[in-house]
C-alpha cells in the first residue's frame, strides 16, 4: 500500500482481443487481430486474454481462435489467456499451445442459461473436468463471475450469491477470480458493499474487478476498488467490448482510461499508455471506425503531467 492507501502496483488483464472483439458486429480479419495482440504485447502487459475456445456457432467472431494463437509469440513474461467453457474448449486451447485458461459462469441463473445454455450448477459440472485437466497440465486457471451487480434479465443480484459462486470457483482450484459488472450498472457504493463482503472471505490479491463502462461509471468503480485493496483490473484497449448474450452490455473499461488514472495516481502498471494507444489506433484503422476510449480520443497528453500526488 502507498501512503495514499492505494496499492503500489496494479496488474492489468488486457481483454480487448477477447471481450472486445467477441462483440464486434463485423468479422475482424485474423491478421488484424494478430497485429493488435502483438501491438499490445509490445506495450508491456503481463497478461492478455487473446481469444475464446467457445462454440463457433455461439461466437462466430472468435472462430479463428486456433489460428490467432498459433501466430502469437510465446514469451515467458507474457501470459496468453483463453476462455474455455468445457472440455472441448480446453482441448482446443491446449492444441493451440495455450497455458492459461479462464472458465466463466455467473451469479444469476437467467444470464448463465442465455450465455452458456446451462444452469449455474451445470456450468460447474462442465468445469470440473476442465479444472482437473488444467491442474494436471500445470495451467494457470482463472474464473469469472458475471452479473455480479445486476443481471439483464433478473435485475439486482445479491452479493451473497456472488460470494457463493466465487467460493465455488476457488474450490475448483482457480488461481484468480474476476468479478464482472457485465452490463455496467454499478456505482462506487455498490462496489464498496460487494467488496466488503468478498474481502471478508477471500484475499484481495486473488480477486480481479471487470467493469463494463456502459454508463460511464467504470473508472469511479476502479477507484473504489483500489481503496478497498484490489490490485488486478480487466480492461479493453480502445474501450471495445460487450457480451453478445447480455443486452445492454457496453464496452469494457478502456485500458487507456485505466492507465491514465493509475499513472496520475502514481500506481505502477508496467504498461506504456502510448504503446496501448498505438495498438488501438492501428485496430481502429483496420476496422474503419474510431474506438470509444476517452483518453484515446483526447489524443494523449502533450506534456505528461506525472502523478498528481
Ligand atoms: P451447447 O449448444 O449447449 O453445447 O452450447 P453442446 O455441448 O450441446 O454442443 C453443441 C455444438 O457445439 C456441438 O457441435 C459441439 O461440438 C460444439 P455439433 O455437434 O452440433 O456440430 N461445441 C464446441 N465447439 C467448439 N468449441 C467448444 C465447443 N463446445 C461445444 N468449446 C456452449 C454450450 C457453452 C458450448 C455454448 O453456449 C458457448 O460456446 N457459449 C459461449 C458464450 C460466450 O462465449 N459468451 C461470451 C463470453 S462470457 C462474457 O463475455 C462475460 C465476461 O466478459 C465477464 C463479464 O463481463 O461479466 C467473461
Ligand atoms: Mg466482460
Stretch 212-226: mean pLDDT:
97
Higher pLDDT, 109 or 249: 109
Q: What is the DSSP letter of 58?
A: T
Stretch 204-229: mean pLDDT:
97
CB of 253 within 8 A of CB of 233? yes
Q: Which of 273, 247, 288 shows the shortest CA–CA distance to 152?
A: 247
What is the pTM (predicted TM-score) of this model? 0.96
Residues 6+ apart with CB under 8 A from 303: none
pLDDT at position 26, please? 83
pLDDT at position 2, please? 74
pLDDT band at residue 303 using 50, 70 and 90 as cut-offs: low
Give, rounded to a whole angstrom, the gap between the first and last alpha carbons of the chain: 14
pLDDT single digits (tens) 55-90: 999 999 999 999 999 999 889 999 999 999 999 999
15 class by beta-carbon count within 10 Å (0-12 exposed, 13-18 middle, 19+ buried): buried
**For helices 109-116 and 120-137, what crossing angle results, to 10°?**
60
How many angstroms separate the CA atoms of 228 and 216, rounded? 20
pLDDT at position 245, please? 81
CATH of domain 11-298: 3.20.20.70
pLDDT band at residue 301 using 50, 70 and 90 as cut-offs: low
How many angstroms separate the CA atoms of 304 and 292, rounded? 22
Which candidate in 41, 43, 169, 243 is catalytic?
243
Residue 52 CA: nearest ligand 1 atom is 44
Query: Residue 58 C-alpha to ligand 1 middle, in angstroms?
Result: 6
In degrees, rounded to 5, the angle at the alpha carbon of residue 244 between the alpha carbons of residues 205 and 246 is 70
Provide the mean pLDDT of the chain.
95
How many angstroms separate the CA atoms of 13 and 49, rounded? 7
Does ligand 1 lie within 6 Å of residue 23's CB atom? no
243 is catalytic: yes
pLDDT at position 65, please? 98
Does ligand 1 lie within 6 Å of residue 119's CB atom? no
pLDDT single digits (tens) 165-193: 999 999 999 999 999 999 999 999 999 99
CB of 78 within 8 A of CB of 45? yes
Does ligand 1 lie within 6 Å of residue 88's CB atom? yes
Judge whether residue 302 has pLDDT over 90: no
Amino acid at each position: 500500500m502507498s501512503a495514499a492507501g492505494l496499492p503500489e502496483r496494479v496488474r492489468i488483464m488486457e481483454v480487448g482481443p477477447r471481450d472486445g472483439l467477441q462483440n464486434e458486429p463485423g468479422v475482424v480479419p485474423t491478421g488484424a487481430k494478430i497485429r493488435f495482440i502483438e501491438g499490445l504485447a509490445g506495450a508491456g502487459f503481463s497478461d492478455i486474454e487473446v481469444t475464446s475456445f467457445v462454440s463457433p456457432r455461439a461466437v462466430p467472431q472468435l472462430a479463428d481462435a486456433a489460428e490467432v494463437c498459433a501466430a502469437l509469440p510465446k514469451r515467458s513474461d507474457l501470459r496468453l489467456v483463453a476462455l474455455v467453457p468445457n472440455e472441448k474448449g480446453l482441448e482446443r486451447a491446449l492444441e493451440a499451445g495455450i497455458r492459461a485458461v479462464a472458465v466463466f459462469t455467473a451469479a444469476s441463473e437467467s444470464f448463465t442459461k442465455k450465455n452458456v445454455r446451462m444452469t449455474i450448477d451445470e456450468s460447474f459440472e462442465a468445469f470440473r473436468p476442465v479444472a482437473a485437466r488444467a491442474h494436471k497440465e500445470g495451467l494457470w486457471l482463472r474464473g469469472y463471475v458475471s452479473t455480479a451487480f445486476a443481471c439483464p434479465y433478473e435485475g439486482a443480484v445479491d452479493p451473497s450469491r456472488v460470494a457463493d459462486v466465487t467460493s465455488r470457483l476457488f474450490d475448483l482450484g482457480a488461481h484468480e477470480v474476476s468479478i464482472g459488472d457485465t452490463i455496467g450498472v454499478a456505482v462506487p457504493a455498490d462496489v464498496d458493499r460487494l467488496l466488503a463482503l468478498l474481502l471478508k472471505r477471500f484475499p484481495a490479491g486473488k480477486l480481479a474487478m471487470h467493469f463494463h463502462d456502459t454508463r460511464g461509471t467504470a473508472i469511479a468503480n476502479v477507484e473504489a476498488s483500489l481503496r478497498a485493496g484490489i490490485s488486478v483490473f480487466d480492461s479493453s484497449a480502445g474501450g471495445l467490448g460487450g457480451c453478445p448474450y447480455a443486452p445492454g452490455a457496453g464496452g469494457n473499461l478502456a485500458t487507456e482510461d485505466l492507465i491514465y488514472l493509475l499513472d496520475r495516481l502514481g500506481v505502477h502498471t508496467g504498461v506504456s499508455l502510448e504503446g496501448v494507444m498505438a495498438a488501438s489506433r492501428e485496430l481502429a484503422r483496420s476496422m474503419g471506425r474510431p474506438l470509444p476510449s476517452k483518453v484515446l480520443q483526447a489524443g494523449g497528453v502533450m506534456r505528461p503531467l506525472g502523478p498528481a500526488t
